[in-house]
Amino acid sequence: MRIGILAGEASGDILGAGLMRALKQHTSEAIEFEGIGGPLMQAEGLVSRFPMERLSVMGLVEVLGRLRELLGIRKQLRQHWQANPPDLFIGIDAPDFNLPLERSLREAAIPTVHYVSPSIWAWRRKRVNKIVKSTDLMLCLLPFEAAFYDQAGVDARFVGHTLADQLPLVADVQQARQSLGLNPDDQYIALLPGSREGEVSRLAPLFIAAARRCLAQRPDLKFVIPAVNEERYQQLQALLENGMDDLPVQLVRGQSRELMTAADAVLLASGTAALECMLLKTPMVVSYRLSPLSFFILSRMIQVAYVSLPNLLADRMLVPELLQDQATPQALADSLLQQLDHPEQQVSHFTALHQLLRRDASAESAKAVLELLQRRRGQAHG
């Protein structure tokens, strides 16, 4: 059996390696994998026709600068697989690169699978029309994604989330505090103002102001802030030193997962951190601010009731979402103190949602892929 498989960045390499391992475990057939992937996929036997780093491009300007090379790589892969058809192709995330490739291969009668749904359920829903023409099977990390695709006539399978598989149902708070050198008896609030420079510029002063309001009411509180890289560390350190050095806050390089585990409550920018915080069972408040023009445009494009994944999964306002003008220091402080006083209001639901997402995503994905192959072989022989 020959399978084409393509991942464009480190997160896709992790997903791809898990899927490749599970495919080998769930069939007695020998499998040859070729395409593009990183070291984890190559360790599982992938022959990578191009270095994965050539696809790992962030930002519009960077993409435009490399557009000719990216289109050239996609064209070479398309021509190679059309001339030497694999039994199946799997595109992992990277929808702007993978979906057009999937469409051309599908038109050449090669079955195609897309692993990780784009967020079309949230905005630009008409993109589903392109997906209908591109993929035979969509593997979804979240249950409401599969329901959306079913309504659109796309064969979709909810396989669960690999992060839910990796993280324990009960987090070890004391171990996290010990590893970070935090006092086991103190109350901590973690502040996560994002990973990009612009996010940190907008949100960190707001989050720090909220921390001050919390401290005014609870003088014994302590605060921790993780910096995703050295650039953000320097940026946050400059903010804290600019007249804020009296705040009892500890700035840490990396270790955001450990900090979220160790904290009694978390104030964070909306995004995947909210899902991780939910899986770690730490009460949270979600907040975000954009420029007024960006918020005006985006708020008219978004087609879901909530912005954070815990609320989308629960289908209700389980986690407070304080966005744009609602995101004032006092409102954030009041909401954080509410979570400190009543953590059970969120945590019991977090456990249920964790169990919902914990399905052994790699194994479920492998089963769905092999079922698609079996159906296609049956149709060919029929």
Mean pLDDT taken over the chain: 90
162 Cβ contact partners less than 8 Å away, ≥ 6 residues apart: 14, 15, 18, 141, 361, 362
pLDDT in tens, 107-162: 999 999 999 998 776 556 677 888 889 999 999 999 999 988 888 888 999 999 99
pLDDT in tens, 289-337: 766 666 555 666 565 677 889 999 999 999 999 987 888 999 999 999 9
pLDDT in tens, 172-188: 999 999 999 999 999 99
Report the predicted TM-score, pTM, of the whole model to 2 decimal places.
0.86
* Max mean pLDDT range (3-12, 21-30, 56-65, 226-235): 21-30
pLDDT at 59: 45
**DSSP letters spanning 107-119:** HTT--EEEES--S
Average pLDDT over residues 254-267: 96
| Residue-range domains of the chain with CATH | 2-160+359-381 (3.40.50.2000), 173-357 (3.40.50.2000)
pLDDT at 326: 86
Q: Which of 9-18, 275-284, 294-303 has the lowest mean pLDDT?
A: 294-303
pLDDT at 119: 77
Q: Pick from 279, 357, 358: which is nearest to 319 by CA?
A: 279
Q: CA 294 to CA 302: how far, in whole Å?
A: 12
Q: How are beta strands 222-227 and 88-92 bridged, if at all?
A: unpaired
pLDDT in tens, 70-91: 899 999 999 999 999 999 999 9
pLDDT at 246: 75
Question: What is the distance, to the nearest Å, from the Cα of residue 280 to the centroid of all Cα atoms in its chain?
Answer: 15
